[in-house]
């Protein structure tokens, strides 16, 4: 085998020889270490059960909660109680969506119980597709595609209006449960406008102030 190295210079031959020796040593060392450094593993698995927000209503823990029926005879409003479960201090938004078949007015109150009894505080907010004078859902079809996932036209009262509470209005209490009342009212002198129709769709949702989409 040495004739292959005949044309090499002595320094090159020395380098080759030393390299070979080092290679043998490294192979031996790595082989021994790999043999000694066997890995051992323990493993377990658990379910992650978590919600940040949950709505409770007449059917506890179900989504959507059941808002029930509205009896308009001899009354001018209906109150529906619901709650929000979350971590204390969590800021969230309440969102209300409803169709416009009936001339109803919606208000949401936060219920607190103290030494002076029950206190109601109205939650302020704004409609996203309606201003003081114009129903933008009707005139511009605002949020139509978000609602129906298509551009096909629908009857004008089936275009829902979306209301959202103002930032900072809803902060979960230390108990982890906030109670609210959704008040739906109507003009008792204008019952005919209501009795001629029968269905209104109302959606109530709660979401964190910090979006969670990406």
| Interacting residue ranges for another protein, rule: CB under 8 A | 2, 5-6, 8-10, 13-14, 16-18, 20-21, 24-25, 28-29, 32, 35-52, 87-91, 208-214
- Cα 185 to its chain centre, rounded Å, is 29
- Please report how close the Cβ of residue 3 comes to another protein at its closest, in angstroms: 9
- Please report how close the Cβ of residue 95 comes to another protein at its closest, in angstroms: 16
- Please report how close the Cβ of residue 94 comes to another protein at its closest, in angstroms: 16
Residue nearer to another protein on the CB measure, 175 or 214: 214
Residue nearer to another protein on the CB measure, 138 or 209: 209
Residue nearer to another protein on the CB measure, 21 or 201: 21
Nearest to 99 by CA among 160, 43, 9: 160
Coil, helix or strand for 176? coil
- Please report how close the Cβ of residue 40 comes to another protein at its closest, in angstroms: 4
Residue 134 phi/psi, 5-degree rounding, is -130, 135
CB contact at 8 A, 191 and 71: no
- Please report how close the Cβ of residue 198 comes to another protein at its closest, in angstroms: 34
- Please report how close the Cβ of residue 9 comes to another protein at its closest, in angstroms: 8
Residue 52 burial class via C-beta count within 10 angstroms: exposed 0-12, middle 13-18, buried 19 and up: middle
CB contact at 8 A, 159 and 100: yes
Other residues' Cβ atoms within 10 Å of the Cβ of residue 8? 12
Residue nearer to another protein on the CB measure, 90 or 165: 90
Residue nearer to another protein on the CB measure, 173 or 200: 173
Distance CA 84, CA 123 (A): 14
Distance CA 15, CA 40 (A): 41
Residue nearer to another protein on the CB measure, 10 or 114: 10
């Amino acid at each position: 085998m040495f004739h292959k190295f005949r044309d090499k210079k002595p320094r090159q031959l020395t380098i080759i020889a030393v390299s070979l020796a080092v290679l043998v040593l490294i192979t031996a060392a790595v082989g021994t270490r790999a043999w000694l450094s066997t890995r051992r593993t323990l493993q377990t698995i658990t379910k992650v059960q978590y919600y940040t927000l949950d709505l409770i209503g007449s059917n506890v823990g179900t989504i959507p909660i059941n808002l029930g029926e509205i009896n308009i005879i001899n009354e001018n409003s209906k109150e529906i109680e619901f709650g929000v479960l979350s971590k204390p201090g969590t800021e969230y938004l309440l969102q209300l969506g409803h169709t416009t078949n009936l001339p109803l007015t919606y208000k949401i109150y936060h219920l607190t119980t103290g030494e002076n009894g029950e206190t109601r505080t109205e939650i302020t907010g704004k409609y996203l597709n309606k201003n003081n004078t114009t129903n933008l859902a009707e005139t511009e079809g605002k949020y139509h595609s978000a609602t129906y996932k298509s551009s096909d036209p629908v009857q004008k009262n089936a275009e829902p209006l979306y209301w959202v509470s103002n930032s900072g209005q809803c902060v979960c209490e230390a108990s982890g449960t906030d109670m609210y009342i959704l008040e739906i009212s109507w003009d008792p002198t204008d019952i005919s406008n209501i009795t001629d129709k029968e269905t209104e769709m109302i959606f109530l949702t709660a979401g964190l102030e910090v979006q969670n989409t990406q």
